[in-house]
Structure formats: C-alpha cells, structure tokens
Structure 1
Amino acid sequence: MGQKQQSTADPTAEPKKRRRVGFFNLDSGIEAKDCIKVYLVSSKEEVGSPDSFCINPVDLNSFFDEDGKIYGYQGLKITIWVSSISFHAYADITFESTSDGGKGITDLKAALQRIFAETLVESKVDFLQDFSTGSNLIRSMISSGEILKLKASNGRGTDCNSDLKAAISDVEVVRMVVGKTAAGHLYSRLIPLVLLLVDGSSPIDVSDPSWELYVLIQKKPDQQGEIQCRVLGFSAIYRFYHYPDSSRLRLGQILVLPPYQHKGYGRYLMEVLNDVAVSEDVYDLTVEEPLDYFQHVRTCVDLSHLLVFDPIQHAVSSAVSRLKQGKLSKKIHIPRFMPPPSVIDDVRRSLKINKKQFLKCWEVLIYLGLDPVDKYMEDFVSIISSRVKDDIIGKDSGTNGKRVIEVPSDYDKEMAFVMCRSQVGEASDVQMDENQTNQEEQLRQLVDERVKEIKSIAQKVSGHRV
C-alpha cells in the first residue's frame, strides 16, 4: 500500500503567522438609578453632609437614552444637590475612566439638562453662594400673589379644619396666575422636581393664564430675625369655563416636597382648594388622573365634609337600612344602592364634589353606617362586587355597557371607530377575559382591593364622625 507523500517544507520560507482571535467587550451600560443620588438641601452646610435629605425619583432611567442606561463610563458616580432656597441644582460627576464599548459615551450634561434645564448651575462655588444671595428669592416671587387662609366653612367639617390650623399655623397658601411673569418663573424652577417626583407628569403651559399656581409657604425667621419663605409644596389648577356663567376647577398637579410629606401639608392644601371652590361657587372641583395615594387623601378630606353634611344623612340612613334587611348575597340581581340624583346634585352644588368622586365616598359612608359591621359584611361585599362588575362588564349585570363601532375614514383606518354606551341587553365589544375562571379571579381581586381601601379610609375618618 502506498503512503501519502508529505510535502517538503522550504527551509528558506518564513513560518506562517499564527492568527490571534480577540473578544470585544461590549459595554452593557449602567442604569441611571444605580449611579445617581439626588439630595434636597436648604443650606450650604448640608451640601455633602451625610445627613442631607436624599430624595427618590420615580424614574431616572427615562431621561437617559432609549433603555435608560449610561454608557462609556467606569466607576461613575453622580451626586446632585437641589437647593430648596432657590431650586437651583448642581451636579458633581466623578468617574475612573471613559471608553467607547460599542454604544458610545453618554453625554451626561445634555441628559441632566433634560431634567434641570436652566436651573442646573455649572459652578459649585456659584451654587453655594446662592444660599446667601437667593435667600429672599421666594419671598419676592410670591409678593404679588393672593394669600389664602383656611376657612371654617359652613357645615364642612370645622373640627378637622381647626386641627389643621393648630398643627400648621406657620404656613399659608399663595395663589398666583401662571400667565404672569413671577408665577411662571417660580413654576419653571419647580419643573425638575415635578419631573423627578410626579409619576407620568409633564410641565404645564406657563403662558396659559387659565392655569393657577397655589404655593404652600412656610414662614420662619432666620438667625438675623428676617422672615424667610420656604416652599413646602404646590398645586397647579386649571380653570375651565362652564356654561353659562360659571367655571370648573381641575387639579392638574400637586406635590409636597419629600422632607415635608406625611405631616398634613397635602391635606391642608386640599382643604384650601376646597375653600376656593366653595367660596367662588364654581361648578365642581375635579382631579386629573389621581395617583392612588393622593386619591386616598382626597377621599378622606371629602368624607370629613360629607359626614357633617345634613342634606345627605337621610339618604345614607335609608341605604344602610335597606342593606340590613336581607341576604343580598343570595339574590341574583343585587341593587346598586345608588344615592338619589337630588343628593348627588346637593353634594356637587354645596361641597363641589363631582359625581364620580361622591360615588366613591358613598360606599364608605354606607360602610360606616353598618353596626355591627361584621354582621353585614357579606352583603356589603356583594354590593361592591356588583358595582365593580357593572363598571367592567355592564351588559352582563343588566346595565349599559360599551360598544366599539367602526366608521369610515380616509385619514387613519386604525382610528376609524367611536365608542358609545350600549343599551340594556345590547351586545358589547368590550369584555373581560374569555376564560370564565380568569374573569372570576380578576373580579375577586378587584373587589378585595376596593373593600380593603374602604376599610382603610373608614378607619381614618371615623374619628371625625359627629
């Protein structure tokens, strides 16, 4: 058998170079929330102090590229101080090194300016100096505003108002029209905190005079005895025209600065806004997409007024008596226990609580009237379950549901529809999950959450019952 001949190597030929394979280390980035700390400080001594108040932004990542990450830095640390005196900000940025790991190097200055805009100060020296030079800034800005005092309004929970007055006697609310220069200038300084601390918020139009700014101010003397004004929080209200000769107030933004939260200031601000709505006889006061916690506070405030509002007491007693009469949980069709239309109108006209909000309060009022509550809890839960089911799949509960109707359109075929109320018994295109088991589980969870919420609110307001 012949053997395969091997080629004879040329002794004069250069040896072949061995190919080396390298692995590219792709930069995975770092999330903004993991390398940025934001502090709210009221003096230059607090800057860099371990006792400085650290705030927790709702979503820092949204300001950095599409995936919320920072690229190109090793050992990155960003410390931001925000002055509660002037609301200027200064960012201290440190890192070990920079390199392009495949996704570039994030422009940190541009990203931070998306949050802080012109309030971002480049020099730390200027930032520290501002605590002295800007000490009277807030006082000068609000000087043209209208000072609002909390009133003991007719039949509207005067005991609660008295408690608030005693607890926070050194604060006041100043109303300013946003379309004017001073109010717009002040709000522009508050925008970064709105973006950082209010989920899903966007700045209001400071050129629109229909916006009003209600600023919660605390006045305290400094070491020299001069009165200093400190912003504790604010609310932005939009005033709509209501035919024929009235207006509606819509609360668009409300924020109590983190160091002053859970001290009653938010409730105080809500009470003042209610006073404005009643004293100016607007049509009603509504809230734009309230967050759960604020909705909880709002309901507590409204209930403190409803509990001493005589025109609804008979309707509440009647509803409670009907609930106590029988085993509602055994019935096929459970009544809604809705308040009479005249009662809904009385509440709106006198307390400026709109219908949707009053119906939330109405369920708590019925719960408060049950004594002993454990005896009637099963029937009460049945009422809540029936209402939740009506709201989600109205057609299956004998009430009006919703229908989606396609309409011709040459502009956008995907948007060529209208949604309207279905008549009783009419088919609806808005339904729950087709799986019956999932429907029941979803419904049960919603009912449990609502009952838990009602119990929590009832516990808080029961001390104000008269």
Structure 2
Amino acid sequence: MAGMTMNSLLKTRLESFRCCANDVIHFKLVRQKSDLEDDSTTFHPDMTHQLFGEQESIFGYKDLVVEMFYSASRLTTYVNMQYFEKISPNKFDGIEPDNVMETIAKEMPPGFVTNKDEFTRLLPKDASFKPYGEMLHSYKISKGNDLRNFEIYHTDLETPGFREYHERLQTFILFFIDGASFIDVDDSRWHFYLLFEKYKVNENPMHAIAGYMTVYNYYAYPEKKRPRVSQVLILPPFQKQGHGAELLQTFYNTCYSRSEIKDITVEDPSENFQRVRDYVDARNCMDLASFQSDKLQLGFSDNMVQDAKNKLKLSKRQTRRIYEILRLKATNVNDKEQYRSYRLDVKKRLNAPFQKNGRDNKKLEKVLQPNELSATMNSWPLEQRHAYLEKAYEEFEEQYKLVIDRLEKYH
C-alpha cells in the first residue's frame, strides 16, 4: 500500500509539470514595439501534434510560456520560452524535461532570433518591405469603425527573395493545417497567392501578411493543365472576415480565360475550406442560366456540367455538389412533395454502387478497396442501408445549409 501511495504521489507530482502545448504557445504578428506587451495581439495554435505528439503536451515545466513572434511584414522571427519551474532529473529518478526549443528549432528556417531586444531592434526593417510578385486584386472590409485595405499578390519561387520569405511563412501550417507538410521548393510548378493588409504608419504604406494559398499545376493529357489548390491559410487575427473567399475567387479569376486549364481541383480540403469553396462556387453558379431555380427542379443535367466546366473550370463532382446546394436553396422544405423529391435525388447519388467520392464513405474507404466497399454496401440488410442513407443525407444537408445561410447574407 505504501508503495502504491508513493507511486501515486510521484505520478501526481510529475503531472504538475505537464501542460497543453496549444495553450502555452503564444503567437504574435508584431507591427510595432507596443504589440510585444499587448495581450490582445496574442493568438494560439489550433494544433501542435505535428511537433509534440498526439497528446499535444509538453512535459517538464510549470507556468511555461513559449513565445513565437513574427514581424508582420518581413516575418523576422523570435522564439523563446520562459517558465516558473523546471523539473530536476536529480529529484525525479533521472526523468528529463522535453527539449522544447530543439523541437521547434528543427522546423524553423535558419535565422530566427532568441533575444527579444534583438528582435525589437530588427522591427524597423519592416518599413522597407514590399510584397512579392504581381498585385491581382485589392478590396476593403469594415471592422468596427475602421475600413481596412487588403491586397492579393501572385508570385512563384523564382521571385528574388521569396524562397526565404516562404520558408518563414510556411512554419505556420504546422500549427494551423492538419497533416500539413512543407512543399518542395525546387519544383517550379508551385504558385503562391499572398494576402496582405495594407496600412499606413506616419503616412508611409506598410504591408502585413494575413494569409496565403498554394497552387500546384498538374499536367493533364494531352496538353492541358489541372491546377490543384493545396494549402490555404488565413491567419487567426484575420479569420471570419471573408478573406478565404476573396483569395479563392482571385485565383479563379486568373483561370477562366486560360484555355489550357481543364479544371480546378482541391487537395483533401478541410471542412472549413470546403465550405468556403462551396460558397464561392455556388455564388458563381447562381449567375449561370443552367442553375436557375426552374432548371434546378428538373434535376442534375449535362448542361450544368458543361456550363460549370466551360465557364468556371469546375469538375463534374464539384458541380454536382453545387447543384445539390442550390437545389436545396430553391426547394420549399414546407412543400412535402418538393422536399421529398429533393431528398430522393440526393439519396440516389449516395446509393450509387461504386462511390468515387471519398468524402461520402470516408470511414469505410480507409479499410476497403472500391470493389469491397461496393460489395459491403450491397450486402447490408435493407434496413441498415436505409439508415446509412438517411444519416449520410442529414450530414450533407447540414453542410449545405451553412453554405446557403452565407449565400443569403451575401445577396
């Protein structure tokens, strides 16, 4: 009993040195010296499992704070840590604390500083920063009583200085995009769309990074291209302001007149980005004749596929999804027959024996080949199959309603 009590006490004491990495990492985009002590400019990572394991925990410290500060324009980077107490291996049977700085340093490009005074001395260099590449689009948004200006630029890895800048910028994805990995900077088929807020200091224009998107140009036989949106990140201080839609639409606008582009795809989109994509695609399709309310009620058509492909570069799969969103928007759910017709139309797609939509049967497709999946679904008892279809339908309708709500606010 005494041994068990001692073990319990040791475990309790050890746990007091464990903290959540998501809580103790403090990010800042620093525009001026006063931001360093302003808690309102601090934001935290969405995830840290890519650095600190599935538990997203750091062991060995009490009251730990890890500071990861970036100058808002050049992304000059400062990384350091402070704590109230550090575990002593002499007192805890040789148990060592996690080497936090080493773990982070492995993912950071060379050149970051660990001295805050040095970081502060470097801040004025941001005044001479100019965005990389060509400006494609500018727009304004209102926040409170302020009208804020934003600009979107397109660049590639051949632009002088951009490789080094991108190395610093992409460190954010480890903390905000699940399963993200750094891209191959030796591949010229990568293109970048950078979002900056433009503001003034003493009447001098400044640009602060707000987000970015990467696009890879795949080859499509025989002479076409198929650009794929890979990574999209709007940094937390700028989220839920409509920037993701502006970034995506700006990229779309560069593709519409290019005959060599077959269609535009997206690499494994997160739920949040899928909503942004659906919103932008639905907003664009609403202007096409084949997607007007009277046509939607007649069902999915080849005209829709051709219209969306020729004018908007949408794939057939995404076009079908947009059709379902817009048909639901045009459906009177209080009209039992009209709503029933819509539900049956969606369930008919879900019931197709060979699903190629990885999102429809995501869990099963992780362990089954397509033919096995089809055989499995066909072997289900009728009641089980109906339950699956109903649940899948409800999940889609819930996703679609979020897009429709945003469309209605837009209009």
Same fold? TM cut 0.5: yes
**Deviation readout 1:83-129 (Å, 9 max, x if unpaired):** 32332133232232321235422112111213434363111111112
1:168-183 residue pairs with structure 2 within 5 A? 170-183=149-162
The match for 1:215 is 194
Contact 2:173–2:180 (Cα < 8 Å) also in 1? yes
Distance 1:185 1:430 in 2: 50
Distance 1:47 1:364, change over 3 A: same
**Normalising by structure 2, what TM-score?**
0.82
Distance 1:37 1:421 in 2: 48
Distance 2:312 2:107 in 1: 38
The match for 2:283 is 304
Name the larger-Rg structure: 1
One-letter code of the match for 1:317?
D
- Measured on the aligned residues, the alpha-carbon RMSD in Å equals 3.3
**Normalising by structure 1, what TM-score?**
0.73
Q: SS at 2:404's partner residue?
A: helix
1:229-240 residue pairs with structure 2 within 5 A? 229-240=207-218
Report the CA distance between 1:263 and its aligned residue: 1.6
The match for 2:59 is 71
Q: Does 1:388 align with 2:350?
A: yes
One-letter code of the match for 2:73?
I
Report the CA distance between 1:73 and its aligned residue: 2.8
Q: 1:122 aligns with which of 114, 124, 145?
A: 114
The match for 1:132 is 124
The match for 1:408 is none
Q: 2:74 aligns with which of 82, 86, 98?
A: 86
**Deviation readout 1:398-418 (Å, 9 max, x if unpaired):** xxxxxx9xxxxxxxxxxxx99
The match for 2:318 is 357
Q: SS at 2:377's partner residue?
A: coil
The match for 2:170 is 191
1:26-425 residue pairs with structure 2 within 5 A? 26=11, 27-28=14-15, 29-52=18-41, 54-64=42-52, 67-87=55-75, 88-100=77-89, 101=92, 103-118=95-110, 120-137=112-129, 139=130, 142=132, 145-149=133-137, 170-223=149-202, 225-281=203-259, 282-310=261-289, 312-313=290-291, 317-320=294-297, 322=298, 337-340=299-302, 342-371=303-332, 374-375=335-336, 376-390=338-352, 419=369
Distance 1:433 1:112 in 2: 50
**Deviation readout 1:241-296 (Å, 9 max, x if unpaired):** 22333311110011111111122221111111110111323211111111111111
Q: SS at 2:228's partner residue?
A: strand
Report the CA distance between 1:371 and its aligned residue: 4.5
Contact 1:136–1:229 (Cα < 8 Å) also in 2? no
Distance 2:137 2:19 in 1: 48
Contact 1:86–1:130 (Cα < 8 Å) also in 2? no
The match for 2:399 is 453
Distance 2:62 2:150 in 1: 46
Distance 1:435 1:70 in 2: 48
One-letter code of the match for 1:366?
R
Distance 2:329 2:5 in 1: 72
Contact 1:89–1:116 (Cα < 8 Å) also in 2? no
One-letter code of the match for 1:118?
P
Distance 2:61 2:242 in 1: 43
Distance 1:22 1:200, change over 3 A: closer
Report the CA distance between 1:22 and its aligned residue: 9.8
Q: SS at 2:252's partner residue?
A: helix
Distance 1:430 1:372, change over 3 A: closer
One-letter code of the match for 1:111?
T
Distance 1:114 1:435 in 2: 52
Report the CA distance between 1:343 and its aligned residue: 3.2
Distance 1:267 1:428 in 2: 36
Contact 1:232–1:257 (Cα < 8 Å) also in 2? yes
One-letter code of the match for 1:264?
G
Distance 1:383 1:188, change over 3 A: same
Q: SS at 2:180's partner residue?
A: coil
Distance 1:86 1:188 in 2: 12
Aligned-pair identity in percent equals 21
Report the CA distance between 1:372 and its aligned residue: 6.8
**Deviation readout 1:32-87 (Å, 9 max, x if unpaired):** 234333333322211122322x3231222431257543333344333433332332
The match for 1:332 is none
Q: SS at 1:201's partner residue?
A: coil
Distance 1:131 1:194, change over 3 A: same
